[in-house]
Structure 1
Amino acid sequence: MANFLSTFECKLDAKGRLVLPAKFKAALPEVNGAELILNMDKSGCVEIHPAADFQRRIMSKISGLDEFDPKAKLLRRALMSRVSEVELDGVGRILVSKKVLEHAGIEREALLVGVGKYIEMWNPERFHATQNDLSEEEEAELIAKYLSNE
């Protein structure tokens, strides 16, 4: 499983292509490492997942939703309409569609944030604005709740 760490400032070219940083390329799994899934997250960023990992962790759960439950169908449709597949080209770039860039508010500059199993692509200003969403006290409480050994 991939382990993406660090934050990188990146520029997109005029065609909307983004060069994945070497550290992130190196963290991609060997099998189907060139295939990635872009997910337009509700928070305003774009998640970048290795395709095999996305299939195993997320698609398997979505596929398991009850096909006859109207609410489950709405959820499946909502989730799947925000997803697109891309491939790394020979130079290590991905072509990001205009729809995806507009969702994230990205024009020429993007911030790539490694968050463990996947990468988040942000408009730099939007990302920095979200960093105020969690106070130091709230962060400490969440660390104690989710990351402590007790």
Structure 2
Amino acid sequence: MDGFVSHYTSRLDAKGRVSIPAPFRAVLARDGFDGLYVHPSLDVEALDCGGHALLREIHDLLGKLSPYSEERDLFSTALIGTSEILKIDTEGRVILSESAKAYAGIATEITFVGHGFKFQIWEPGRFLAHLAEARSQLRDFRKQLSSRHVAPESPPPRQHGARE
């Protein structure tokens, strides 16, 4: 798998640096992006992060919108205009900007959460609350799906020795 999976929690060091988890660094290295592309998430108080794969997703989204449309301008502003490219040091650490930390509510700890083509950076308490809400909504969604889906009737069991 070439995507970001699982989640990890780390502390900021005294200089405000945090180590990107080794499995995430390996994905970034295979992706070939020099640094870490970061922007505030559109729908949660977290940061979306990645490399070329994340940028491809953004450019694919923008490419589907009319070049001078209000929607494209809004997405461009939110996904590109508020982004940063962070330098990853030789130890695999980054320093988040003050505005990025403020947006995500980060003070001393960070939770990295894999999303396949990207990962998110969360304040750990906010992530746990988000995860609990996501699980609750998925349970409800699963119940809705199961109530809509009726399993096909099984044929009656075949009698032993019966001819067809």
Q: Which runs of 5+ in 2 are unaligned?
A: 147-164
Question: Does structure 1 retain, via aligned residues, the 8 Å contact 2:10–2:18?
Answer: yes
Deviations 1:85-113 (CA, angstroms, capped at 9, x unpaired): 11211111112101001000001101111
Of all paired residues, the percent bearing the same amino acid is 27
In structure 2, C-alpha distance between the alignment counterparts of 1:121 and 1:87, rounded to whole Å: 16
1:63 is displaced (CA, Å) by 5.2
Alignment of 1:62 with 2:90, yes or no, is no
Instruction: Sort the Cα spacing of 1:139 and 1:17 in 2 relative to 1 into closer, same or farther, 3 A.
Output: farther
In structure 2, C-alpha distance between the alignment counterparts of 1:79 and 1:47, rounded to whole Å: 9
In structure 2, C-alpha distance between the alignment counterparts of 1:44 and 1:141, rounded to whole Å: 28
Q: How does 1:24-39 map to 2 (within 5 A)?
A: 24-30=24-30, 32-39=32-39
Amino acid aligned to 1:48: C
What's 1:48 paired with? 49
Alignment of 1:138 with 2:140, yes or no, is yes
Question: Does structure 2 retain, via aligned residues, the 8 Å contact 1:65–1:76?
Answer: no
Question: Does structure 1 retain, via aligned residues, the 8 Å contact 2:36–2:49?
Answer: yes
The number of equivalent residue pairs is 143
What's 1:147 paired with? none
TM-score scaled to structure 1, two decimals? Answer: 0.79
What's 1:122 paired with? 122
Question: Does structure 1 retain, via aligned residues, the 8 Å contact 2:111–2:124?
Answer: yes
TM-score scaled to structure 2, two decimals? Answer: 0.73
In structure 2, C-alpha distance between the alignment counterparts of 1:69 and 1:7, rounded to whole Å: 37
In structure 2, C-alpha distance between the alignment counterparts of 1:55 and 1:87, rounded to whole Å: 16
Larger CA deviation: 132-141 vs 2-11? 132-141
Structure having the larger proportion of residues in strand = 1
In structure 1, C-alpha distance between the alignment counterparts of 2:37 and 2:144, rounded to whole Å: 29
Deviations 1:16-40 (CA, angstroms, capped at 9, x unpaired): 3211111211222435344221121
Larger radius of gyration: 2
Instruction: Sort the Cα spacing of 1:138 and 1:32 in 2 relative to 1 into closer, same or farther, 3 A.
Output: same
Q: Which runs of 5+ in 1 are unaligned?
A: 145-150
> What is the aligned-residue RMSD (CA, Å)?
2.5
Instruction: Sort the Cα spacing of 1:24 and 1:139 in 2 relative to 1 into closer, same or farther, 3 A.
Output: farther
